[in-house]
Amino acid sequence: MAEPGMGQTNHRASDSLEGRLLPDLDPSTLSVSTPLSLVVGTGFSVYKNSIIPAIKAAQKEVILVTCFWAKSETLTLINDALRHLSEKASASFSKISYGQNYPPATWSKLGLPQQDELPGLNITIKRKFFWPLGIIHSKYVIVDREIAVFPSCNVSWERWFEVAVSVCGPAVEDLLSFHMDFWDRGRPFPSMQSSPQQLNIGALVHQGPAVAVFSHLHVDTTLLPSPHTPSYLPNHLHPRSMLGNLPCFPGIPHSFPSTPLLSKTHHLLFTAKSSIIMLTPNLTEPVVINDLVQAMERGVDVHIWTNRKLMTMEQIVTAGTTTPRCVRNLAQRTRGYRGSLTTQFFDDVLGAQRVQEHAKELTPIKLHSKVTIVDGAKILLGSGNMDAASWKTSQELGIFFESKDLVDEFKKLWNYGPLDR
């Protein structure tokens, strides 16, 4: 369990993954994995409908990584799941551990039960944080090394629209390699003596209108890590970036770290043929904006869902601009192009709605999901935003599927307005 958002700890440069690929993972190679479910809603409902059932179904091991950790109704769900695992611990459950940053005496400060309330569980709580700029922004859950869940949400109270996809197959092995390399410096996990389970998909989700369950969908899948890049200055204040914004230096292109996630995202946008649908909390990254400009020049229709106001101060610090300003500039630059541009601000549409008190945890008022759909048949999900922080400093993680079926299911679950024309 990781919650780097709760404190600030300096780490040596050797803690960074900058400049090296994961030794046991070739992120450029597609593998055929099996999506199990796709869930949308607030962070609370995504945990309730997808992550918590998967945790409760665990027999041997649960790994939970999140960027931010706060006392909330979501944390209450996690605590209930831990108590559930503790009750069945005498029969089958054990957690493999390597030591911890948070001793049991401090767990109550995190809103967790005391150690003596969870007999039979061996719990490890770790934290990493890179200062001054850059966070561990990836979010995922691995259950029994057989199932992986990729949510966009943190363990928090925010009423934001989120999405999570769960999978089994080779993508889980790739994720475990990524996890071991970063959190345990490549040390192999001890073997877990267990035979493969017969997955009961119905037990892994709470079925409902915000949940799509797949039975026999096997699709090309790519795990896309994006290692953290140390930085002591926001990218827009680096000399190269500042020179590129001057009229006398128009030839200096915007660049980005060549991580698997960023390279794949750029490639998808650069090669789109007919349509791009982009859901992102913020849109401030120049590389993304330039890719969208070129796509519309080629005749690609672009539909963007974002927020007018979300973490505005962070945008100014990391990018020197804001999402509304970037959206206006994008519209001005592409006026008259062959491809169309449609932009919707999620908080304009839903932020002012009135809801009954009992429904607040289930009603989103901001957009926090990160979804890119290209040509109606390719979908990228994960933790990466289309902003300067995700593209220049934060550690991110994405998962890519080539599947029209998966795209169609996401469109069915989305009911907040048109995703395309």
Instruction: Please give the domain boundaries of the chain with CATH numbers for all domains.
Output: 4-17+29-222 (3.30.870.10), 224-413 (3.30.870.10)
Query: How far apart are alpha carbons 390 and 334 in whole angstroms?
Result: 25
Q: Which residues 6+ apart lie within 8 Å of 36 measured at CB?
A: 147, 166, 167, 168, 199, 201, 204, 205, 213, 214
- pLDDT for res 236: 44
Query: How far apart are alpha carbons 293 and 339 in whole angstroms?
Result: 9
What pLDDT band is residue 209 in, cutting at 50, 70 and 90?
confident
pLDDT 10s digits, 401-411:
999 999 999 99
Q: What's the whole-number average pLDDT of the chain?
A: 82
Beta bridge partner(s), residue 211: 39
Question: Which tops the pLDDT comparison, 196 or 297?
Answer: 297
Distances (CA, A) of 298 to 83, 263, 289, 334, 420: 55, 20, 14, 11, 17
- pLDDT for res 52: 96
Q: Which residues 6+ apart lie within 8 Å of 415 measured at CB?
A: none
- pLDDT for res 383: 96
- pLDDT for res 230: 61
**Residue 336: what residue type?**
G
Q: Which residues 6+ apart lie within 8 Å of 305 measured at CB?
A: 278, 279, 280, 343, 344, 346, 367, 416, 417, 419
Task: Compute the average pLDDT of residues 202-208.
Answer: 82
- The answer, yes or no, to whether residue 172 has pLDDT greater than 80, is yes
Task: Compute the average pLDDT of residues 109-115.
Answer: 92
- The answer, yes or no, to whether residue 134 has pLDDT greater than 50, is yes
Question: Which tops the pLDDT comparison, 114 or 229?
Answer: 114
- pLDDT for res 4: 33
Q: What is the pTM of this model?
A: 0.85
Residue among 3, 47, 38, 6 nearest 361 (CA): 47
- pLDDT for res 251: 53
